[in-house]
Structure 1
Amino acid sequence: MNAPDYLLNVWKRFDGFPMETLTKVWAKKQRSVSQMREDQIHYGITGNCFDLSIWLLNEFKEEGIKAYPIGHHLHSKHAHAAIIAEDERGRRFLCDLGDQWLKPILIDVKDQEYTNEMLGVFFPAADIRVSQVENNLQIEYFRPSGKVSRQIYDASRVEESSFCSAAEYSQQTIHPIPLLECRCPYKNEIAHWEFYGWKSFLSTTEGLIDDPDLHSVQEWTARINKKTGFNTVFLNKVLEIYKNKIFD
């Protein structure tokens, strides 16, 4: 179910990249890959699922790897974006930086290396199982608490012009609650840290670990900076916008 090394080598360039919606209120439009690279160098910032997918797609193309965008609920507030990359044998791998997967996974259920067993090491703090439901891809997530959740992907190609249009729509659709997710080391695993609703917590194979409550933008700026390395001036500015709900 693992991707070949040449595909993984591209994916690993994004290992330290969180998924976040903070940049939406700062950039106010869909950024080019060159702009995203520059912003990451200067401010440490990354972007939402569309930003990360567009950037990853560009990296695959530069390495000569066949890849294309996918998504669901495009042009809506529930949109999600990811990438499918193909190896030299034409096998397809789901590459989802927006949900902070640890690595790509094989989705061709007829391939001899496919298994419908529960698998670890692909997703933080959960085992996963890949299956096909009608013409769609289903991912099941098995949490340490016993909770099971499911996500359905339409793995068919989205034309890049339509994908870019959906990305721009997403950039203009500001949810009033900021979100940031990142992968971070915890003991002997890579866990998942999330900031949402002015609370934060760590998802691990031991269960959820809640962070102490904070009460000011300055405190949140310090905590998020420690987790991500994002520029503190940037963080303070965008968090003030979200706190005061000034979305012009």
Structure 2
Amino acid sequence: MRSSEEIEAVWRTFDHHPMETLTKAWWMTQAPKGMRQRSVTMMESHRKSLGTSGNCYDLTLWLLYALQEAGVEAEPVGHGWFTSRAHAAVLAKDRVGAEWLCDLGDQWIQPVPVDAEHEAFPRKPTAGLFPGASVSLSRNGNALTVCYHRHGGKKSDQTYNLCPVDRDTFSRACAWSQDHLKKRPLLEIRIPWEKETALWEWDGNKAVLSTSRGLVRLDSPSTATHWPKQIHDVAGIDPQVVTKALEVYDRIRKTG
């Protein structure tokens, strides 16, 4: 399964961009007064100099810009705007009018068609689209439900609202997200593992590898001071950025 050459070419440029909330915490200590959501220019500059990436809002904004620069029609979609459960992604349209879900925030391996009549629409569990799981899709109007089939028969699902959100609402949702941190950081990045693409996941305490064989518990540093180097080694983020971000999260946990 492959989307159009134009969509695929842009998507591949984000292959090594993790979804992470460390940069959001770090940016809270760096942002000029009144500025919350980083511009695409800033994100590109930070990526080049510091190896940073961003959360699902950052990645959606970034991908939207890159697709439109390539002449691809694209709009933001998601669910739960202005809540802690929110998630953002991109709906891109190829030259023949087929729509593709492009979700960097959840670290999909590649875009997936959302039209139930499309020949590549994965009605049955399909491997190679999402790290560590096969996925099957079903659609009811603008609701696209993704079922994740994991090792051992475990299943979970997520539903996207494919009705594009207007850019003003999306911009305000981005700013809202940048003002709100959960108590623990999160980082997810696709990495090669044996003969598949796995997901390296870190929640501030431990790192695990999500694979088709289930979760693989990884050796964790004995102290939190070791995480900046390990995260740099895996995801490329400057250790000083990670250290500053962890200080922010530590203050949040202590203040409740």
Q: TM > 0.5 between the two?
A: yes
Does residue 109 of structure 1 match 2:106? no
2:142, 2:163 within 8 Å by CA — same for their partners in 1?
Answer: no
2:26, 2:242 within 8 Å by CA — same for their partners in 1?
Answer: no
Aligned pair count reads 247
Q: In the alignment, what sits opposite 1:127?
A: 134
Q: In the alignment, what sits opposite 2:8?
A: 8
Q: How far apart, CA to CA, are the structure 1 residues paired with 2:227 and 2:86?
A: 27
Q: How far apart, CA to CA, are the structure 2 residues paired with 1:188 and 1:55?
A: 30
SS of the equivalent of 1:218 reads helix
- Match for residue 225 of structure 1 among 232, 250, 254: 232
Deviation per residue, 1:33-76 (Å, 9 max, x gap): 00000000010000000000000000000011000000100011
Q: In the alignment, what sits opposite 1:32?
A: 39
The amino acid that maps onto 2:101 is L
Q: Any residues of structure 2 matched to 1:163-178 within 5 Å, and which?
A: 163-178=170-185
1:217, 1:236 within 8 Å by CA — same for their partners in 2?
Answer: no
> Post-superposition shift, 1:239?
1.5
Q: Any residues of structure 2 matched to 1:46-57 within 5 Å, and which?
A: 46-57=53-64
> Post-superposition shift, 1:97?
0.2
The amino acid that maps onto 1:17 is H
Q: How far apart, CA to CA, are the structure 2 residues paired with 1:186 and 1:177?
A: 26
2:112, 2:121 within 8 Å by CA — same for their partners in 1?
Answer: no
SS of the equivalent of 1:230 reads coil
Deviation per residue, 1:101-135 (Å, 9 max, x gap): 00000010023443412111110011001111354
Q: How far apart, CA to CA, are the structure 2 residues paired with 1:201 and 1:115?
A: 27
The amino acid that maps onto 2:18 is P
Does residue 91 of structure 1 match 2:79? no
Q: How far apart, CA to CA, are the structure 2 residues paired with 1:76 and 1:215?
A: 34
Aligned-residue sequence identity (percent) comes to: 37
Q: How far apart, CA to CA, are the structure 1 residues paired with 2:62 and 2:127?
A: 26
TM-score (norm 2): 0.92
Deviation per residue, 1:62-93 (Å, 9 max, x gap): 01100000010001111100000000111110
SS of the equivalent of 1:37 reads helix
Closer/same/farther in 2, CA of residues 211 and 54 from structure 1, 3 Å limit: same
Q: How far apart, CA to CA, are the structure 2 residues paired with 1:186 and 1:244?
A: 35
1:2, 1:106 within 8 Å by CA — same for their partners in 2?
Answer: no
TM-score (norm 1): 0.95
Q: How far apart, CA to CA, are the structure 2 residues paired with 1:215 and 1:115?
A: 42
